[in-house]
Chains A and B, each alone.
Chain A
Amino acid sequence: MADPAPRLDPVVMAMIVVREFFDGAVVNLGIGIPMHCADVIPPDREVLLHSEHGLLGFGPLAQTSEGVDPYVFIVGNRPVLPRPGMVFLSHDESFSIIRGGHIDITVMGGMQVDAAGNLANAHAPGKPAANLGGAPDLATCAKRTIIMMYHTASDGSPKVVDHCTLPLTAPRCVNRIVTDIAVMDLVGGRIVLREVAPGWTPAEVQAVTGARLVVADDIREMSLA
């Protein structure tokens, strides 16, 4: 079945996610599309970005060599610009910050999320082992876990499902899912559909979802504000 309207691109998805980055928030962004969030943080908010290998309070991704310190980069080898107030940490200190509950919001990609809020995003099918990285700690211990992912896999199969079939990264950890067609919240074992992309109806989102969605009373079209 053809899509009723275009799906959002990752930058617009990021603009939806960063709506909840409050002034002073400590935020960790995962590899892949969550990284776009760094580029669209509203300039009127000071957000401290955290990277697992020991970097807190860094600036935007470097686009040219200007101002680059080769020692300052984030997960995925992307150089970032130094920023006043930035701190370098050891791995154990960095994860004390995570495990100790000092991360306000973690945004990461997902392969599957289910109605219980279980997350699978580490063991890619066909690979001999899982790439857990820092995801189990972040998903379990951040105050808020947002999964930012395409609504369906490249083969069209649903990624929002009744029960994860892939190995779990962390159980019962997801608070919100932002996809290219919907915003959903995990509430008490149910997936509540809050927002749909322009041109999409709740029924059309439901049709490409592998779990039953509960449509919020105040369901609305996604907007950047």
Chain B
Amino acid sequence: MIDKSVATFDEAVADISEGARIHMGGFASPFNTPSYLIAALARNGARDLTIATTSASTGPENARNIANTLSEIVSWPSDYWEMGLIARQGQIRKLITSFPVGTGKVVWPFEERLNAGEAEVEVTGQGSLAERIRAARAGIAAFYTPVGPGTVVAEGKEIRDFEGVPHVLEQALHADFALVRAWKADRYGNLVFRGPKTFNETMAGAARVTIAEVDEIVPLGDLAPDAIHTPGVYVQRLVVRPSTPATSWQEPC
């Protein structure tokens, strides 16, 4: 019998160890970030991680400021933990991202590490990041994109003209683990997302082990075949978010 559910977040990330390469899903919001997986990774404490993600994340204090700004329009849940938590703990050796630093005078946790020379960053445009990850999922070794030639991201990479337009060769980006957030799943690991599917759908299947944090696991057959976004073959582990929010990221869960 196929059943990909795992009882706890701690168990789901237990084999993420020093030096692991991770694809981290979500996009700057508590509603699509795998918060409980991030909290479990912070409790796990694995260091020297290489993480590919859209943004280095604001860190808890800045996130709280954003939540306060938005409070009359939308209420952000208290159980929101993002990558700033892992960055602050010094678990990240390298980030591959399109948005590594705060804007204006705002300094993000990962940026503090960068400034201290304790971490490195590979900055890439969001489109090439997404396609490199999609390529890993799809078994494509590399691809040519018109985005990048003439800028620093193309330095050291092969450039080739197609129909007179310079393209840069970008390579697939694989990982050991992909941590994603979805809405509903069944025991096969089939996933349905809510709202913009962001890097969650892109990353599921682009790693040796994809772990999905979901709101609910429904009985097999409840998800209509034509409504499933991510087929279960891309997913190895499922963990259900608690119905009562944890009060701290440090709480075992």
Q: A129 contacts which chain B residues (CB < 8 A)?
A: 100-101, 111, 114, 121, 123
Instruction: State whether A70 touches B198 (Cβ < 8 A).
Output: no
Q: Name the B residues within 8 Å of A94 (CB-CB).
A: 130, 196
> How would residues 115 to 156 of chain B score, 1 for a CB under 8 Å from any chain A CB and 0 otherwise?
100000101111111110110000000000111111111000
Q: How far is the CA of A128 from the CA of B115 in the complex (A)?
A: 7
Indicate whether B14 reaches chain A with its CB closer than 8 angstroms.
Answer: no
Is the CB–CB distance between A137 and B70 below 8 Å?
Answer: no
A-side contacts of B29, CB under 8 Å: 73, 77
Known interface pairs A129-B123, A132-B125; A79-B70 also in contact (CB < 8 Å): yes
B residues less than 8 Å from A72 (CB atoms): 195-196
Inter-chain contacts of B111 with A (CB < 8 A): 127-129
A15 CA / B157 CA spacing, docked (Å): 41
Asked if residues A62 and B74 are in contact (CB atoms below 8 Å), the reply is: yes
Known: A129-B123, A132-B124, A136-B127. A71 touches B151 (CB 8 A): no
Interface residues on A, range: 35 or more
Contacts of B126 in A (CB 8 A): 52, 91, 95, 132-134, 137
- Chain B residues, Cβ within 8 Å of A127: 101, 111
For residue B74, which residues in chain A have a CB less than 8 angstroms away from its CB? 62, 65, 68, 70, 73, 79
The yes or no answer to B250 lying at the interface (CB within 8 A) is no
Q: Are the CB atoms of B98 and A71 closer together than 8 Å?
A: no
**Cβ contact within 8 Å between B134 and A92:** yes
* Interface residues as binary, A71-101 with B (CB distance below 8 Å gives 1, 0 otherwise): 1110101010000000011111111001100
Interchain CB contact under 8 A, B131 and A88: no
A171 in contact with B146 (CB, 8 Å): no
Contact of B198 among A54, A98, A133 (CB under 8 A): A54
Closest B-chain residue to A87, C-beta based?
A: B196
Does B208 have its Cβ within 8 Å of any Cβ on chain A?
no
Q: Are B115 and A77 in contact, with the CB atoms below 8 A?
A: no
Docked CA distance A135–B202 (Å): 19
Q: Which residue of A lies closest to B195 (CB)?
A: A71
Q: Does A53 contact B (CB under 8 A)?
A: yes
From A77, A124, A135, A167, B103 is in contact (CB under 8 Å) with A124
Say whether A140 faces chain B, with CB atoms less than 8 Å apart.
Answer: yes
Whether a CB of chain A sits under 8 angstroms from the CB of B54 is: yes
Indicate which residue in B103, B114, B127, B196 contacts A137 across the interface (CB closer than 8 Å). Answer: B127
Task: Report Cα–Cα, A131/B134, bound state, in Å.
Answer: 21
Contacts of B229 in A (CB 8 A): 90
Partner of B147, one of A51, A91, A141: A141
What residues of chain A have their CB less than 8 Å away from a CB belonging to chain B? Answer: 51-55, 62-65, 68-73, 75, 77, 79, 88-95, 98-99, 118, 124, 127-137, 140-141, 167-172
Known: A94-B196, A129-B123, A131-B99. 8 other contacts (CB 8 A): A53-B199, A70-B74, A89-B197, A92-B134, A99-B147, A132-B153, A133-B126, A168-B151
Which residues of B are in contact with A by a Cβ distance under 8 Å?
27-29, 31-32, 54, 66, 70, 72-76, 98-101, 103-104, 111, 114-115, 121, 123-131, 133-134, 145-153, 193-202, 229
Q: Across the A-B interface, give the 3 residue pairs with the lowest CB-CB distance, nearest first.
A: A71-B195, A137-B127, A171-B150
Give 6 CB contacts A-B under 8 Å.
A89-B196, A91-B126, A92-B134, A129-B111, A140-B147, A167-B151
